[in-house]
Structure 1
Amino acid sequence: MSRILSIAQPFPKFSVSAVISLEPGKEFATLSNENINGKWAVFFFWPLDFTFVCPTEIVEFNKSIKQFHDRDAELYGVSTDSQYVHLAWRKHNDDLRNLEIPMLADNKKELSEALGILHPIEKVPLRATFIIDPEGVIRWVAANDLSVGRNVKEVLRVLDALQTDELCPCNWEKGQATLK
């Protein structure tokens, strides 16, 4: 496994198909760095579609989408399954039908490899989360092993802290004093 890209590094160039809708004829779009230029972005990766932990995370991110949008941040979910597998999963999983988050298909594994997040044995993405600033620079990275889901509230807390552009103490939450 290559090294995971980290803080202060540019988010890699990418262009992939994504599922953005269940409406016939409007299911797919190509998304790239152009979609995130000038915006905060959160990319969260999961190992495989049609599994057990993954939909719990995707659903939780989707429930929180308004909170991310209130922070001028876009959410992007990614796995190495194809856009067709993503679409089938959305159609057959009641919890994913009304998903508002694009499901990016990194089926060539180019983005996952560039980020260094492929599991060394399974060759699927770790449960990695990246917060990207409006200049396209990685500002936060977290990666969990395949069996452990992440905490969406922590992603929001870190995004809030990064957006203050101030020093934030341990356990800081939005609305609390920053350090001077």
Structure 2
Amino acid sequence: MSLINTEVKPFKATAYKNGQFVEVSNADLKGKWSVFFFYPADFTFVCPTELGDLADNYEEFQKLGVEIYGVSTDTHFTHKAWHDSSEEIKKIQYPMVGDPSWTLAQNFEVLIPGEGVADRGTFVVDPEGLIQVVEITAGGIGRDAQELLRKVKAAKYVHANPGQVCPAKWKEGDATLAPSIDLVGKI
């Protein structure tokens, strides 16, 4: 079963953010856009490149009213240690959520059976707490924050403009489509 248009299941977790441990829960999602960015583990190889890319683009996500939640099955203590020891990870200002109980990884269906770590899963959640974008890649395939920004903008546009859809490669300001019988076979 697809997670698209399903509500984020209840959760409570501890995150490391800006030098502090903070509690986060599904209640924090209501009324704003969110991105859950699952990665396998701290102190690894592809993960810091992805998280650093998100950090470099975090201001743009914030301008759109989007909060990023970086999530791994490590603890919030491990997130702090990694943040303190890596120049790439020091750039991160968004919450780094610890999921040692695997609650979030199981809720979002990205827990790798028998390994205790998450797949590279990206989920865009709308202000009602419904999942609008799901992307899961194999461990060796890093993601691109600019492409994620494009998908967030498209999801926000479709959410705000019922009856409109964004075609392939759509970028903010490009033409959209209004599905109708008149378009069948004309695209």
* TM superposition outliers: structure 1 runs of 4+ over 4 Å: none
**Residue aligning to 1:122:** 115
Correspondence 1:69 to 2:62: yes
Shift of 1:121: 4.3
- Aligned residue number for residue 97 of structure 2: 104
Gaps of 5+ in 2: 159-163, 179-187
Task: Using CA pairs under 8 Å that are at least 6 residues apart, name the structure with larger relative contact order, 1 or 2.
Answer: 1
Tell me whether 148-157 or 47-56 shows the greater mean CA deviation: 148-157
The Cα offsets for residues 74-99 of structure 1, whole Å up to 9 and x where unpaired, read as 11100000011111000010111231
Q: How does 1:22-37 map to 2 (within 5 A)?
A: 22=19, 27-37=20-30
TM (normalized to structure 2)?
A: 0.89
Q: What is the DSSP-based 3-state SS (H/G/I as helix, E as strand, rest coil) of the residue aligned with 2:175?
A: coil
- Give the number of the structure whose alpha-carbon radius of gyration is greater: 2
Paired AA for residue 168 in structure 2: C
SS at match of 1:96: helix
1:25-68 CA-partner distances (Å, limit 9, x unpaired): xx201111121110000010110000010000000001111111
CA RMSD between the two structures: 1.2
User: What SS class does the counterpart of residue 17 from structure 1 fall into?
Assistant: strand
Q: Does 2:6 align with 1:9? A: yes
**What is the aligned counterpart of 1:139 among 132, 138, 148?**
132
User: 1:120 Cα deviation (Å)?
Assistant: 2.9
Q: Which has the higher helix share?
A: 2
Following superposition, the deviation at residue 109 of structure 1 comes to 0.4
Residues matched between the structures, number = 173
Counterpart CA distance in 2 for 1:11 and 1:152 is 22
Q: 1:170: which partner in 2?
A: 168
Give TM-score scaled by structure 1 length.
Answer: 0.92
Give structure 1 stretches of 5+ with no counterpart.
none
SS at match of 2:61: helix
Q: How does 1:29-108 map to 2 (within 5 A)?
A: 29-108=22-101
Compute the displacement of 1:134 (Å): 0.1
Whole-angstrom distance in 1 between the partners of 2:112 and 2:172: 34
1:111 CA displacement: 1.0
